[in-house]
Amino acid sequence: MPVNILSVRNLCINYNSLEALNVLSFDVEKADYVGLVGPNGSGKTTLVKAILGLVRPSGGAMTLFGQPMPEFRDWYKVGYLPQKMHSFNPHFPSTVREVVALGLISRKKFPRRLDKSDETAITRMLEMLNIAHIANKLIGELSGGQLQKVFIARALINEPELIILDEPTTALDPETRENFFSLMRELNLKQRATIILVTHDIGTIGEHASKLLYLDKKIIFYGSFDEFCVSDSMSKYFGRSSQHIICHKH
Ligand code: ADP
């Protein structure tokens, strides 16, 4: 039996008179790797915010890990990497290692101390993301790309069961981008982490994700890339050539 991680039923979200999401219904099952794609203004960020409980639906219902949304409290199970760190203070006097450690500490009970295996996990994560050499630098001294890696490390160090990433690779160099995607693959295949990845990069998401959620205020398509590839309605919607660029199988 597939396990539902996220269940969305008839979700509607309005900003005043603007309809951002219009009657969305879909399920994300354990170990799904969903590419969330759609044009600018199609409601991707709004959907992510709704899943995180940051915007209030105007209609419909959602469950996360089987719990109805407003009551959901197990946020340690969810790792989120926002597109932009609006609330982040670059003058906060912490090192890279300390910021990543915060991701682990939030889950611990008192006394909140890191043990040897935590330290090993942090070192491994820094190495995966090519930032081990700057572990002791203050975060205020980092470039945008380095900072992005620190936040990826902090979001993933906790081994969340659901990982939500909003355009995570925009500031990354090609090598780190590769490492990032192989880390995602490992978490998805070995630890059966569920991933929702928001991207503009519709031409390459088929290399990584197992399902496509194509949004344009409503759901245009939700299913596997194989289903997308043979869907007549998607041929009509995108044209056959774009359809196969998206499905990435041939
Ligand atoms: P995407 O992430 O796909 O670009 P968004 O979810 O950011 O789309 O936006 C969907 C629509 O909602 C857009 O028309 C956008 O202008 C509007 N919108 C987003 N956030 C707000 C807000 N806080 N207040 C009013 N309108 C908003």
Distance CA 109, CA 123 (A): 22
Please tell me whether residue 35 adopts helix, strand or coil conformation: strand
Relative orientation angle of helices 116-128 and 144-156, to the nearest 10 degrees:
140
Binding site membership of 84 for ligand 1 (Cβ less than 6 Å): no
Please tell me whether residue 231 adopts helix, strand or coil conformation: coil
Domain borders along the chain are 4-87+162-247
For ligand 1, what atom is nearest to the CA of residue 43?
A: 6
Task: Sheet containing 4-15: give its strands across.
Answer: 18-29, 4-15, 59-64, 67-68
Kindly report the average pLDDT of the chain as a whole number: 88
Calculate mean pLDDT across residues 129-145.
89
109 Cβ neighbours under 8 A, 6+ residues apart: none
157 Cβ neighbours under 8 A, 6+ residues apart: 100, 101, 103, 104, 121, 122, 125
Residue 93 pLDDT level (bands cut at 50, 70, 90): confident
Residue closest via CA to ligand 1's atom 27 equals 15
pLDDT score of 12: 97
Share of the chain above pLDDT 70, in %: 94
Binding site membership of 48 for ligand 1 (Cβ less than 6 Å): no
For ligand 1, what atom is nearest to the CA of residue 16?
A: 25
Distance CA 95, CA 134 (A): 9
The CA-CA-CA angle for residues 181, 183, 186, to 5°, reads 110
Q: If you measure from the C-alpha of residue 138 to the centroid of ligand 1, how many angstroms do you get, rounded to a whole number?
A: 34
Distance CA 19, CA 41 (A): 11
> Are the CB atoms for 125 and 100 separated by under 8 Å?
yes
For the domain made up of 4-87+162-247, the CATH class stated in words is: alpha beta
**How is residue 235 annotated by DSSP?**
H
pLDDT score of 103: 84
For ligand 1, what atom is nearest to the CA of residue 38?
A: 3
pLDDT in tens, 198-238: 988 888 888 899 999 999 999 999 999 889 888 888 888 88
Instruction: Give the residue from 219, 242, 241, 243 showing the smallest Cα distance to 231.
Output: 243
> Residue 250 pLDDT > 80, yes or no?
no
pTM of the complete model: 0.87
pLDDT score of 211: 95
193 Cβ neighbours under 8 A, 6+ residues apart: 31, 159, 160, 161, 162, 163, 187
Instruction: Give the residue from 68, 61, 1, 54 showing the smallest Cα distance to 26.
Output: 61
Residue 190 CB burial class (10 angstroms; 0-12, 13-18, ≥19): exposed
Q: If you measure from the C-alpha of residue 53 to the centroid of ligand 1, how many angstroms do you get, rounded to a whole number?
A: 16
Binding site membership of 160 for ligand 1 (Cβ less than 6 Å): no
